């Protein structure tokens, strides 16, 4: 029960890595707020997590690209709980492939990947300061924020920005009992994985393309699983990482070690 009686927010947690992380937090005793664009899916996920874990969960609708939605989310958490122990800024999109893209496509990726992380952290910080020195902010970065993506330079730009924001934020709040770190996943088995190659999930040949990329670029020889990201998030959320802050942690089967 590493997170007993703690309050956590995980954005984009109705499915995939976010869902696995919400489950892991609740299994360790946390109350998890699942903030997702899809309210129906968020509520359903929260109900299933509450029924199957030692913790509890609630699902709320939140468009993380909208500052007013984020402010309302943390106002609600403040009213209901008075404090926040864990913020996991997980929401993100691959962004358009290449650089031949419109300003709207560029702006949408920046809004979801970077702006959301900044403003969610801004609104969460006063609540994290009330967490008795146990505040933890986790960002989902990416290995492509460390080494660059040939498929989507825009994605690399946004995730590189998230990682550097995390580092600066970690320094600014260290003396206030708040830690900040980033998880940098490599290829992970989720429905979104094909989109990182600039394709749709149904495009013919995409499975073979991913398989070839993993075989060539990932020393472990396989994509990761959502539960492996959740395990890393649990470490960073809990007291097990009490002296860890400002770290961008690759969880990537050795991709960035090549």
Catalytically active residues are: 155
Tally the residues of the chain.
258
Spatial contact of 182 and 139, defined as CB atoms under 8 Å apart: yes
And the tokens for 56?
């509890």
Q: Name the CA dihedral angle for 165, 9, 191, 157, rounded to a multiple of 10 degrees.
A: -10
Q: Residue 23 — φ and ψ, nearest 5°?
A: -65, -45
Tokens of 67: 């500052």
3-state secondary structure of 243: coil
Tokens of 237: 């959320």
Sheet architecture: strand order including 178-185: 56-61, 31-36, 7-11, 86-89, 135-140, 178-185, 248-251
């Amino acid at each position: 029960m590493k997170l007993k009686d703690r309050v956590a927010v995980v954005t984009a947690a109705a499915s995939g890595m976010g869902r696995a992380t919400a489950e892991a937090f609740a299994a360790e005793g946390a109350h998890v707020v699942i903030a997702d664009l899809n309210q129906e899916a968020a509520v359903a996920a929260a109900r299933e997590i509450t029924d199957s874990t030692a913790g509890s969960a609630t699902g709320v609708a939140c468009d993380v690209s909208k500052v007013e939605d984020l402010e309302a989310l943390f106002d609600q958490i403040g009213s209901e709980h008075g404090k926040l122990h864990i913020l996991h800024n997980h929401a993100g999109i691959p962004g358009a492939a290449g650089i031949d893209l419109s300003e709207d496509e560029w702006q949408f990726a920046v809004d979801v990947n970077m702006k959301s992380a900044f403003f969610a952290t801004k609104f969460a910080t006063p609540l994290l300061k009330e967490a008795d020195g146990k505040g933890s902010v986790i960002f989902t970065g990416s290995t492509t924020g460390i080494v660059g993506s040939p498929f989507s330079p825009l994605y690399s730009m946004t995730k590189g920005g998230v990682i550097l924001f995390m580092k600066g934020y970690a320094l600014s709040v260290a003396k206030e009992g708040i830690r900040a770190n980033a998880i940098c996943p490599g290829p992970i088995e989720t429905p979104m994985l094909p989109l990182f190659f600039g394709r749709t999930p149904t495009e013919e040949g995409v499975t073979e393309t991913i398989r070839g990329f993993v075989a060539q670029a990932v020393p472990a020889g396989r994509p990761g699983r959502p539960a492996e990201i959740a395990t890393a998030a649990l470490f960073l959320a809990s007291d097990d990482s009490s002296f860890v802050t400002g770290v961008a942690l690759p969880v990537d089967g050795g991709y960035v070690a090549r």
